[in-house]
Amino acid sequence: MFDANEVRCVADITRYRAKTEGDKTAQVFGERRTTYAELDAYANRVAQGLIAEGCRPDSRIGYIGKSSDLYFEVLYGAFKANAVMVGVNWRLAAPEIAYVLNDSRTEILFVGAEYYDVVEKVLSECPNIRKVVALDGGRSDWISFDEWRDSFPNEDPMLPSDIDDDVIQLYTSGTTGHPKGVQLTNRNYLAVFDQGMKSGWADWKESDVVLVCMPLFHVAGVNIGILGHLHGCKNVVLKDVDPALILHLIEKEGITVLFIVPAVILFLLQQPNIAEVNVSTVRQLLYGASPIAEDVLRKAQDRFKAEFVQLYGLTETTGGATHLPPDAHDPAKGKLRSCGIPNPGTEIRIVDENGKDVEAGGVGEVLIKGGSVMKGYWNRPEATVESVVDGWFHSGDAGFFDEDGYLYIHDRVKDMIVSGGENIYPAEVENALFGHPAIADAAVVGVPHDKWGEAVQAIVVLKPGESASAEDIIAFAKTRIASYKVPKDVAFIEALPRNPSGKILRRELRKPYWEGRERMIN
């Protein structure tokens, strides 16, 4: 719980917790443990450092590095300096990293050791960057983070922070063109805090131990860390998504709350020691960011006797939109494939290609309205106007409401397969394939077909020691979904390409099938 009167902007989070829980552990990273009083003091020093380096309110500072407790020291310091934290996707190629740094006009850049080389390559192309701080030290040309931070006083600058000030800027991955910077504000985060409290999925206690394991350049990873600190929990920060280490930390630290994407749930269930690990401390398992196969969800419910909550949202909605509450996870209620009901203060519509609302059961684009919808795309007024119309954010996701008001997401509109005039959504087919006993992972894409325009192509990863033919899998699918949705062919690979949030990189899977064509649609 937290006092909303004490937290009126994100910069107030560590101030409030240093006063109420000062001696309590705020975060754990490996063997390093930091109390709330220490975290607030570190944030003060970072804020003073940014101000001394010439960062004015609304200046952008960049962070490129694996997940770390130091990220949150920089983040809260940026909040107190009224600067804007730009999380840079470390999976990007050097030219893409340079684009993000230049587009955001990053002035001070904090870099983890794994990315020293790539930053060194692009630094000459980024004229706005005045200083590089080496998070892990070891550079003669860049000051180490601890030396830089500790050279400034532990004094809170207490700068005013408006509710509509930008606080975090995250870049959308995008399938074409350059990524866009999403401007998230104090108002957006206060709305997410309110959504989580009123709907119960983030009504956490000071006694909770929260696992922060998703990449911090994604909204889900950042949000779980911020929410944990907001509620005075102990955050356990993981450098990389390591299923074996996650299971170890659940036992060692007594993890009670965690957010993981469906792919990680699958990887945990595939760990050879999953049956022996004591996971009884986990009371809430949050998941989202991509569709989950019903078979995987049921197996996870059998292993983790916890409350499951699915969250649906996008970077542009600060990660907030809907939640599937624990009671709806009862298989008998038939809602396991839904992503739930709108969060308090959030409105959702389903519209057709003409912008008209569709009836329950009809598939269309998901539109979202509420306090968590972004201010806009940085330096992209045209894109902002196209995406946010009269306060409604056009998500690009295809979904429908059932008669009970539960939202179902099929896929991204652009990932829809059109075969013989029928719309087919990959997630629906993948859900059917996951029931096959030999399949460990699966993806579905549309490939060119001379007669039907597109055909359904399955790409499958088999479980170790298991075997199955394309004919076996196609026959199995015919028992679970309509014939026009059944894959026409099945390819077998060792692992599916996924981004850090667990989403399947369908474009990579489609590419070989569409070579020599002008566009990847038929």
Within 10 angstroms of residue 179's Cβ, the number of other Cβ atoms is 17
Q: Give yes or no for residue 520 having a pLDDT over 60.
A: no
Sign of the alpha-carbon torsion through 506, 512, 514, 516: positive
Note the pTM of the prediction, 2 decimals: 0.83
Domains of the chain: 12-185 (3.40.50.12780), 416-514 (3.30.300.30)
Mean pLDDT for all residues in the chain: 93
Q: pLDDT confidence of 19, banded at 50, 70, 90? A: very high
Exposure b/e, 183-194, CB count within 10 A at least 16 = b: bbbbbbbbbbbb
Q: For residue 327, what is the DSSP state?
A: G
Q: Give yes or no for residue 500 having a pLDDT over 90.
A: no
CA–CA separation, 268 vs 277, rounded Å?
Answer: 11
What are the E-state strand segments in 233-345?
Answer: 234-237, 257-260, 284-288, 307-312, 322-324, 341-342
Q: Model confidence over 299-332: pLDDT tens digits?
A: 999 999 999 999 999 999 999 999 999 999 999 9
Q: Give yes or no for residue 432 having a pLDDT over 90.
A: no
CB 135 within 8 A of CB 147: no
Q: Model confidence over 369-428: pLDDT tens digits?
A: 999 999 999 999 999 999 999 999 999 888 999 999 999 987 666 677 878 656 687 877
